[in-house]
Amino acid sequence: MKKDESSLTSLISTFSRAYHSQFDTPKIFDDYLAKELISQQEFNNIKENMIQGIHFFNRDIAQELKGNAEEILKWITQVQLSPTPLARAAYCEKVLLNEIGLGLEQYVILGAGLDTFCFRHPELQPRLEIFEIDHPSTQQFKKARLNQAKFEISSNLHFVPMDFTQTFSYQSLIDEGFDNKKTFFSLLGVSYYLTKEEISSLINHLFAEIPAGSSIVFDYADENLFKEKGFSNRVENMIKMAEASGEPMKSCFSYKELEHMLEKSGLFIYEHLSPSQIHELYFSNRGDYLSSFETTYFLHAVKR
């Protein structure tokens, strides 16, 4: 991963959250701080690139909405960019806040990007230690953005630079104050880009030593990922975009495969949401283009 690539990935994700917070109603996940971490120039650049790229996403829509730039942007953002990031963040934080209510004291964000959880929940500072793990270049980029936005980094937020897709080191976490107690992990938007062996190894490392009751929330693609085109070819488009960016999608799972992999690491599936369940929870009764992504599932697994 190159510095510019990591920055761009983080910015596009932040763009979709900022767009949703400012322009969509009702809110699925209101990251009202996202706009603070992306400059107006960057927002406008991404916006223009998306609008200019409408023919890649859908030629019919390009013709139908010709001349209506804002509606084109809305269509691309709501159909292609936002659905999964918004819904998985909403689901993950719902589970996390429930765990905190039950006494959770440690939260580890794997692949944090420009996550704003800590800054949206300052009331949790005395109760929750938050460890953000990400590629060193992405983390440096985030620190620079936090500084520019004049965000104060609280004492319970710990940055742990690590390429965990290559090797996971608990020592790096321990050096930042991580303790061997019940822990909640989030792994959002990551599983697609790792091989099955890499995901299995990572989860095995994460849960090898920590106590029972520790858990993880992650999203994954089912076995139809590379066959399903999706609404307006958006699944196929997603795969093409990942390939073009130099980070191709590598893995998809059947439920049985996933269950077996988690069992080997001592975990059981506590909750499993299908695309239709995700749609019912987060996208029903809307009057816009937002809908749950085909082939994408959410999962909460707990250590026995």
Q: Global pTM?
A: 0.96
| Under 8 Å between Cβ of 193 and 202 | no
High-pLDDT (> 90) share of the chain, %:
93
Which of 46, 81, 116 is the last residue before a domain boundary? 81
100 and 243 inside one domain: yes
Of the candidates 19, 76, 25, the one whose C-alpha atom is nearest the C-alpha of residue 43 is: 19
> What pLDDT does 4 receive?
52
Four-point Cα dihedral 27, 32, 37, 41, nearest 10: 70
The pLDDT of residue 8 is above 80: no
108 and 125 inside one domain: yes
> What pLDDT does 281 receive?
98
Q: Which residue has the higher pLDDT, 166 or 149?
A: 149
67 and 94 inside one domain: no
74 and 14 inside one domain: yes
The model's pLDDT over 230-261, given as tens digits with 9 standing for 90+, comes to: 999 999 999 999 998 888 999 999 999 999 99
Give the residues across from 267 on adjacent strands.
Answer: 303
43 and 88 inside one domain: no
Residue 38 has a CB neighbour count (10 Å cut-off) of 23
123 and 95 inside one domain: yes
Res. 9 pLDDT band, cuts 50 70 90: confident
User: Residue 269 belongs to what domain range?
Assistant: 84-303
72 and 136 inside one domain: no
CA distance 220 to 295: 8
- For residue 201, the SS3 value is helix
For residues 171-190, average pLDDT: 97
Structural domain count, the chain: 2
> What pLDDT does 233 receive?
97
Of the candidates 134, 130, 141, the one whose C-alpha atom is nearest the C-alpha of residue 166 is: 134
The pLDDT of residue 34 is above 90: yes
For residues 32-53, average pLDDT: 96
CATH classification at residue 120: 3.40.50.150
118 and 74 inside one domain: no
The pLDDT of residue 1 is above 70: no
Q: Would you call the peptide bond into 211 cis, given omega within 30 degrees of 0 as the criterion? A: no
> What pLDDT does 5 receive?
57
Res. 165 pLDDT band, cuts 50 70 90: confident
**What amino acid is encoded at 161 in this protein?**
P
143 and 285 inside one domain: yes
CA distance 285 to 280: 9
CA distance 180 to 158: 16
65 and 135 inside one domain: no
76 and 210 inside one domain: no
H/E element, 84: helix 83-101
> What pLDDT does 246 receive?
86
Q: Which residue has the higher pLDDT, 213 or 7?
A: 213
> What pLDDT does 207 receive?
98
The pLDDT of residue 6 is above 80: no
Which of 81, 99, 128 is the last residue before a domain boundary? 81
H/E element, 231: none
High-pLDDT (> 70) share of the chain, %:
98
CA distance 190 to 188: 5
222 and 141 inside one domain: yes
Residue 103 has a CB neighbour count (10 Å cut-off) of 10
Strands 157-161 and 129-134: parallel
Res. 81 pLDDT band, cuts 50 70 90: very high
Q: Which three-class secondary structure string do you get for 48-65? A: HHHHHCHHHHCHHHHHHC
Which of 53, 81, 109 is the last residue before a domain boundary? 81
